[in-house]
Amino acid sequence: MLLGLVQIQVGQLEPAAWHLEQALQHGGEEAPKQKIYEMLANLYEVLDQPARAAHYRALYEETPPTPAPATSEASTSHVRMEHLILFPDAASASRALEAYRAAGFDAELMDDPEEDTYGVLVYDDTPSDVDAFEQVIAQLEHIAEAYGGEYDGWGRDV
pLDDT band at 150 (very low <50, low <70, confident <90, very high): very high
All structural domains of the chain with their residue ranges: 2-62, 77-156
pLDDT of residue 59: 87
CB 149 within 8 A of CB 135: no
**Residue 62, CB-side half-sphere exposure with 13 Å CA sphere:** 6
Mean pLDDT of 37-46: 88
Q: What angle do CA 23, 71, 40 make, to 5 degrees?
A: 20
Architecture of domain 77-156: 2-Layer Sandwich (3.30)
Of 79 and 85, more confident: 85
pLDDT of residue 75: 47
CB 103 within 8 A of CB 120: no
Of 82 and 8, more confident: 82
SS3 for the chain is CHHHHHHHHCCCHHHHHHHHHHHHHHCHHHCCHHHHHHHHHHHHHHCCCHHHHHHHHHHHHHCCCCCCCCHHHHCCCEEEEEEEEEECCHHHHHHHHHHHHHCCCEEEEECCCCCCCEEEEEEEEEECCHHHHHHHHHHHHHHHHHCCCEEEEEEECC
81 forms beta bridges with 124, 156
**pTM for the complete prediction?**
0.55
pLDDT of residue 74: 47
